[in-house]
Amino acid sequence: MIFTFSCDATSQAFGVNASLRVDYAHMTPERNAQNDERSQKGEGAESNASQNSTSNSISEKTSAVPAQNQKQSRDSQPSLLAYTVMALGLALFIRFFVAAPYVVSGSSMEPTFLDWHYLIIDKVIYDISSPVRGDVIVLNLPQDAGRSLIKRIIGLPGETVKISGSIVTITNSEYPKGLVLKEPYIDPKNASNGDSVEVNLGSDEYFVLGDNRHVSADSRIWGKLPKKDIVGRVDARLFPFNAISVLPGTVRY
C-alpha cells in the first residue's frame, strides 16, 4: 500500500506538476508567439505605411521634376532668342561697319594678289588714322561707285607724283628734290615703260596704282582718288591657305 501510495503520490505529484509544467512551458511561448505575431503585423503595417509614404513622397517629387524642367525650358527660350538676336546684330554691325570680305578678280595686282584671293578689309582704320603710302586698299571707282577696285597708295595729299617710264618720283616738303620709289612688289615683266604722268594732289586726294602696271586701270587713267571713295585697308588674306597673312602686300618706303 505504501508503495502504491508512494507511486500514486509520486505520480500525482510529478504527473500533475509535470502536466502543469508542460502546459505552462507550452503556453508561454504560444502567448509570446501571438504577441510577436501581432508585433510583427504592427511593424509590418508601419513599415508598409512608411514605404507607402516614402513612395508617395518620391512620386510627388518625381512628378514635380518634369514640371520644373518644363518651366526652366520655357524660361530659357527667351534668353536663347535674345542671345541669337544679339549675336546676329553684332555680326551684321561688324560686316557692314567694321570689316568686310572681298574676293580678288582680275590681274591688276599681280603678282601680289591673284584671282580668288580672299581678303578682309578694315573699314574703320582711316576714320582714326590717315592712309599711308604703300597701303593696299579697296576703293570705289569715283566715276562708278558700284565698282570696287584694289590698288596701292602711291601719292599722298599735297604731294606731286611724277611717272617717267617705270620710275615713280614723289615730291613733297620732306623730299623737295624728289623721292624715287623702290617697288620690289613689281615683276619686271609687268613694269610700265612708256608712261609720262605728273599730278599735283590736293587735300584729301590720293594717287593709286596697280602692281601690274601693264594692265591696271588706276590714277594714271581715271585721275585722283578722293578719300571719301576709299572703302578700307586690306588687313588680312585668308585664302589660299598657304598665303594666309596680316597686312598682305603692305610696304614702307
Pick the most confident of 7-21, 22-36, 67-81, 239-253. 239-253
Indicate whether 11 belongs to any domain: no
State percent of the chain over pLDDT 70: 69
Indicate whether 190 belongs to any domain: yes
Grid cell locating 151: 590698288
Q: What is the pTM of this model?
A: 0.67
Q: Is the pLDDT of residue 12 over 50?
A: no
Indicate whether 114 belongs to any domain: yes
**Span 227-246, mean pLDDT?**
97
Q: Is the pLDDT of residue 223 over 80?
A: yes
pLDDT, residue 83, reads: 81
Active site amino acids: 108, 151
Indicate whether 44 belongs to any domain: no
Grid cell locating 22: 508542460
pLDDT, residue 72, reads: 57
What residue numbers bound the domain in which 143 lies? 104-246
pLDDT confidence band for 192 (50 / 70 / 90): confident
pLDDT, residue 230, reads: 98
CATH classification at residue 168? 2.10.109.10
Residue type at position 128: I
Provide the number of structural domains found in the chain: 1
Indicate whether 194 belongs to any domain: yes
Indicate whether 211 belongs to any domain: yes
| Residues 95-139 pLDDT 10s | 777 899 999 999 999 999 999 999 999 999 999 999 999 999 999
**Span 192-210, mean pLDDT?**
93
pLDDT, residue 93, reads: 72
| Residues 32-74 pLDDT 10s | 434 444 444 444 444 444 444 444 443 444 444 455 555 555 5
In order of 12, 22, 252, the CA distances from 4 in angstroms are 12, 25, 146
- The Cα–Cα gap between 89 and 92 comes to 5
Indicate whether 138 belongs to any domain: yes
Phi-psi domain of 109 (left: phi exceeds 0; alpha: psi -120 through 50; beta: other): alpha
The CA-based angle 162-168-172, given to 5 degrees, is 60
Indicate whether 122 belongs to any domain: yes
